Amino acid sequence: MSCLFARMLRACFVFGLLAWSNLSVAQGAPITLRRAIDAALARNPELQTFAFRLRAQDARIEQARLRPVPEASVELENFAGTGEARGADSLEATFALSQIIELGGKRTARVEAEQAGRDVIDVERQARQLDVLAEVTRRFITLAARQEQLNLARNALDLAQRTVAGSERRVNAAKSPHAELDRARVAYDRAKLDEARALVGIETARKQLAATWGESEAVIDGQPFTEVQADLYTTPAPREFAELLRRLDANPDFLRFVSEARLRDAELRLAATLRRPDVQLSAGVRRLQASDDTALVASFSIPLSSGRRARSYVAEAQASRGLVDAERRIAETKARAMLYELHRELERAVVEARTLKSDILPRTAEALKEVEYAYTRGRYSYIELVDAQREFLSLQAELIEVSANAHGLNTEIERLVNVP
What pLDDT digit, counting tens, does each position of 72-96 carry? 888 888 777 776 666 766 778 888 8
Asked if residue 2 is part of any domain, the answer here is no
Tell me, yes or no, whether 137 lies in a domain: yes
pLDDT tens digits, one per residue of 88-137: 667 788 888 898 888 888 888 989 999 999 999 998 998 899 899 999 99
Comparing 167-176, 182-191, 214-223, which segment has the lowest mean pLDDT? 167-176
Residue 78 Rama label (left phi>0; alpha psi -120 to 50; beta): left
Closest CA to 401 of 360, 359, 349: 349
* Structural domain contains residue 1: no
Q: How far is CA 263 from CA 49, 66, 317, in A?
A: 22, 20, 10
| CB-based contact 241:342 (threshold 8 Å) | no
pLDDT at 147: 95
CATH of the domain at 328: 1.20.1600.10
Neighbours of 265 (CB within 10 A): 16
Q: What is the pLDDT of residue 85?
A: 63
Output the pLDDT for position 377.
81
Question: For 152-177, how does the pLDDT look when each residue is reduced to its tens digit (9 = 90+)?
Answer: 999 999 999 999 988 888 888 878 78
CA distance 164 to 183: 9
- pTM beyond cutoff 0.85: no
3, part of any domain: no
Q: Is the pLDDT of residue 360 over 70?
A: yes
413 in a structural domain: yes
Question: Please, are residues 213 and 140 in contact by the beta-carbon 8 Å criterion?
Answer: no
> How many domains are there within the chain?
1
Whole-number percent of the chain with pLDDT over 90: 45
What would the pLDDT profile of 19-62 be if each residue is shown by its tens digit? 444 434 445 678 999 999 999 999 999 999 999 999 999 999 99
Domain boundaries, position 132: 9-417
Instruction: Check pLDDT > 90 for residue 1.
Output: no
Is residue 380 a contact partner of residue 356, using CB atoms and an 8 Å limit?
A: no
Q: State the pLDDT at residue 28.
A: 63
In a domain, residue 404? The reply is yes
Q: Is the pLDDT of residue 13 over 70?
A: no
pLDDT tens track for 388-409: 999 999 999 999 999 999 999 9
What is the three-class DSSP state of 293?
Answer: strand
What per-residue string of b and e applies to 201-232 under the rule 16 or more CB within 10 Å gives b? bbeebbbebbbbbebeebbbeeeebebbebeb
Q: How many CB atoms lie within 10 A of CB 45?
A: 10
